[in-house]
Chains A and B, each alone.
Chain A
Amino acid sequence: MLALAFIVCLAGLSFADACSVAIDLNFSDTAGPTSVGSNWKTLSGLGILISIVLAAIVFMVGKMLESPEIQNRARSDLMQTLITIVILVIFSAAVLAMCNFNAKQFGLPESNLFAVSKSYFSYATSIASSAYIKTLNAVMFTSALSSIYFSSPIYPFKYFSLSVSGTPLAGLSAVTGSMQLMMNFVMMQVIAASSYDSIFKIIETYFLNLFLPLGIVLRCFTVTRSLGGILISIAIGMFLFYPLLFSFAYLMFLNDDGTYPADAGVPSADWESGVHAEYLTMLPFTIIPSGYFVYFWARAGAMEGQVANRFIDAMGTTGDAALRIFIVPAIMWIVLAMIIRDMSRALGEEVDISALSRLI
Chain B
Amino acid sequence: MQDVVLALLAKGPSYGYELRQRLLTALGPLGSAVNAGQVYVTLGRLERGGLVESTEVGQAYRPDRRVYELTAAGHERVATWVAEVDWPKPAPAEFHLKLTAVATASLADPVAVADSQRRELMRRLRDVEQALLAESPQSAASLLLEGTVLHLQAGIRWLELCAEHWGKRKASR
Q: Do A and B bind each other?
A: no
List B residues at the A interface (Cβ < 8 Å).
none
List A residues at the B interface (Cβ < 8 Å).
none
